Structure 1
């Protein structure tokens, strides 16, 4: 078969744009960090950075992620951002390829739209676990459905990435565990679309992620233990809902809790209680109150089940609407600054010179776009699933849409019930909904016939 001059010219143009995209997209994915002049920091960043140096476990701060950050210190953490950028683009293109939608122009267009309209580049530019939450949903999905469409090396890379992501945050691990559980429950109905081999590999990533976390905890602290703090954070959420005050009011006449003298002075929010200047500090923080908080959490669940269920559902609904970018990424993060100054003094000068530390990062205008895009994306995701159900069509894109919907619901439930609604928890996951919607639009309005047209009874 002969190739015309026009075809050669078209191939050359395509190759040029591919090379340009290969250079430009990784840089654009972390453009906020370049604009800032330093990787973006957050309230929690310091807690992760300190894990290598302090040698003990603290609530909700993964030692695995702490080690990941530690190995980037000598490079000003830019190597961490490079990993996050490249991993993001790799998973975006691999998802498109597995779903039969990969074209250079389409990949570039979707990537640029995500960079411009979602929290994705801000997450990739930040020294925080949140970028791995949404990416792990894609990697878990690809492990399950990829099958013969991905190479052995890609499967290994997906496995390692998913296990690492599960180890970076307990909420991420919980979401992935829930997705695997639903996958096994749906296996008898979907059969070939949920291969046993894929589900097994995906499930093993949770096991390996857990082992990774416990091993890192032992290596740094000498303790074979899970990251602490679950009960304490849940206690803060119950206190915010008024449940703790009611429990203390009912029990203090007969039981001698440390918090009894303070039962009428409890702060209005969990953040104020746990991270402010409350009686939590006076009573020894987690070391002094962990047993008592655990006891109250467990027994208040038994004493007020209807109240707990109602509070959980309200918090979950609120969490689904909390999707603004940038929570905790302001100029006021004294703990993180203090950790860097104490343990990584060579980073103090570039950190202090960054826009963020000059109070030059403001997400108000960013969220004028990000919030409506996020909310519309979730509605469009529901509409996509409803249309699929009505037309009795089930293909891999619809399966991904269902997976992302479950991930959003699971993330909202876990984060809201344990910690209370926060924009950070929604923003780290909702961009995946936008990605799925963009793929659906590309398939609907594309003319290359590359979409997976296989249908099955829904």
Structure 2
């Protein structure tokens, strides 16, 4: 038992060092425009917890002011009140980031995320058939270098946890642990991923549904797995809803969901056609954008030079557009189903085969509705990195990772097609098919419902590399057995 603990502890330490090379190369963590909103929402959550324990009502949520945490990090003690509270920017992840930040600079958040992923991998790899320590070290080194996993660990965003929920669902579904401790560990990872990022919830639900359909004959034998996973997902959903209600109670403003689906159909052109036909007769608040069409989904939501986007207009119009999202989208689907189906299929294929991290090299402009003075220290620290000083070219990394991703996906697909000839084991077949299915579902979610950005594929591309390694190891083992 002690020997096993020592081996795992050593592996975790090695994995952490392998996963933080972007931090060492860039010399600091990487920020993204959305990072500011995550940090602000997490700061508000810390204030709510502090008020709960001290009995003193914090003004952070009510007025979005930053108190002790901001001051302790060298920032001012208050920030401007934003117009609205946007959904999709988890206070839970922000609180996790601030908690890690309390032990040092932005790099401590990266180290915390690397430690989390190292623990996930050290427990998961034996369940994937990679039991020997040296095989695990080589696997993590390969995943770290030839996939964007380590890069996303260095990004102060919850994107890295999307892959974690896939691994957790796989282990619980196919490799149901015999003891409670590992079961609770994987259920905790599902819960955390769902609380950190709403995309994890939809991906996990769709993945579990597909696995249940594929294994419908053995459904009775897997009911405990299904109930446990769905319970974790339900608790995560309730936690997100409870947070939205708490924000509404504290601020007097309901959380405003981002109209991703409306933006997607405007970008695809179907909703744009509906609005051209129905405006101004229907009186949609969205009619204000008709003269600017055609627009991409991101231009509609966030604007561009010379164009005010949805997130930059007055709060009442923002809310009105969110309310009218569904009738406009429904009209687009019923009037132009062929065009929407064609565009969605195109987006899915594009998302599945496209990977890049170029956008992380843009100049840091945090959410415009925040008083960025609170985050000046963080922004200055991040802009001192080699990425923002153009000494580290993300274009080159994107090309390398894109090539390795395409090669890995192609290898996995070929191996699945010729699985009998290659004599792939049942476990390897399960790993490869689940990882490939997760990549397809993620591409469908983003291509059909969200934005078409290469970073969405990049954040889980490491699953393809992992599946390819598992297949390669299995094939080599088979040949070794045949020779012996």
Cα distance between partner residues in 1 of 2:461 and 2:473:
19
Match of 1:398 in 2: 429
Write the mapping of 1:285-296 to structure 2, written as runs, cut at 5 A: 286-296=318-328
Selected match of 1:124 from 153, 176, 181: 153
* Residue 302 (str. 1) matches residue 334 (str. 2): yes
Match of 1:278 in 2: 308
* Residue 27 (str. 1) matches residue 54 (str. 2): no
* Residue 110 (str. 1) matches residue 143 (str. 2): no
* 1:327-350 C-alpha deviation (Å, 9 max, x unpaired): 431141211699584334554553
Match of 1:312 in 2: 344
* 1:177-222 C-alpha deviation (Å, 9 max, x unpaired): 0111123323333458x62222221222211111221223334442
Write the mapping of 1:32-111 to structure 2, written as runs, cut at 5 A: 32-51=22-41, 52-53=43-44, 55=61, 57-75=85-103, 76-111=105-140
Could you tell me how far 1:448 is from its partner in structure 2? 11
Cα distance between partner residues in 1 of 2:7 and 2:177:
28
Could you tell me how far 1:129 is from its partner in structure 2? 1.3
8 Å Cα contact 1:340/1:348 also seen in 2: no
Match of 1:8 in 2: none
Could you tell me how far 1:293 is from its partner in structure 2? 3.1
User: Which deviates the most, 380-389 or 135-144?
Assistant: 380-389
Cα distance between partner residues in 2 of 1:287 and 1:360:
42
Write the mapping of 1:38-437 to structure 2, written as runs, cut at 5 A: 38-51=28-41, 52-53=43-44, 55=61, 57-75=85-103, 76-148=105-177, 151-190=179-218, 195-222=222-249, 228-230=256-258, 232-252=259-279, 254-260=281-287, 262-276=289-303, 277-278=307-308, 280=310, 281-282=312-313, 284=315, 286-324=318-356, 326-335=357-366, 341-344=372-375, 346-347=377-378, 349-388=380-419, 395-437=426-468
Could you tell me how far 1:413 is from its partner in structure 2? 0.7
Cα distance between partner residues in 2 of 1:301 and 1:24:
51
| Root-mean-square deviation (Å) | 3.2
Cα distance between partner residues in 1 of 2:24 and 2:451:
32
Could you tell me how far 1:42 is from its partner in structure 2? 1.5
State the SS of the aligned residue for 2:324: helix
Could you tell me how far 1:32 is from its partner in structure 2? 0.7
Q: Are residues 66 and 250 of structure 1, via their aligned partners in 2, closer, same or farther at CA, if it must alter by over 3 Å?
A: same
Q: Are residues 57 and 361 of structure 1, via their aligned partners in 2, closer, same or farther at CA, if it must alter by over 3 Å?
A: farther
Cα distance between partner residues in 1 of 2:344 and 2:206:
17
Cα distance between partner residues in 2 of 1:159 and 1:92:
15
8 Å Cα contact 1:50/1:66 also seen in 2: yes
Could you tell me how far 1:97 is from its partner in structure 2? 1.1
TM (norm. structure 2) is 0.80
Could you tell me how far 1:136 is from its partner in structure 2? 1.2
8 Å Cα contact 1:46/1:337 also seen in 2: no
Q: Are residues 367 and 437 of structure 1, via their aligned partners in 2, closer, same or farther at CA, if it must alter by over 3 Å?
A: same
Cα distance between partner residues in 1 of 2:17 and 2:458:
21
State the SS of the aligned residue for 1:160: helix
* 1:333-384 C-alpha deviation (Å, 9 max, x unpaired): 2116995843345545533433344344421111231001111111122122
Cα distance between partner residues in 2 of 1:250 and 1:288:
19
Q: How many residues align?
A: 434
Q: Are residues 219 and 78 of structure 1, via their aligned partners in 2, closer, same or farther at CA, if it must alter by over 3 Å?
A: farther
Extract unaligned runs of 5+ from structure 1.
1-11, 451-458
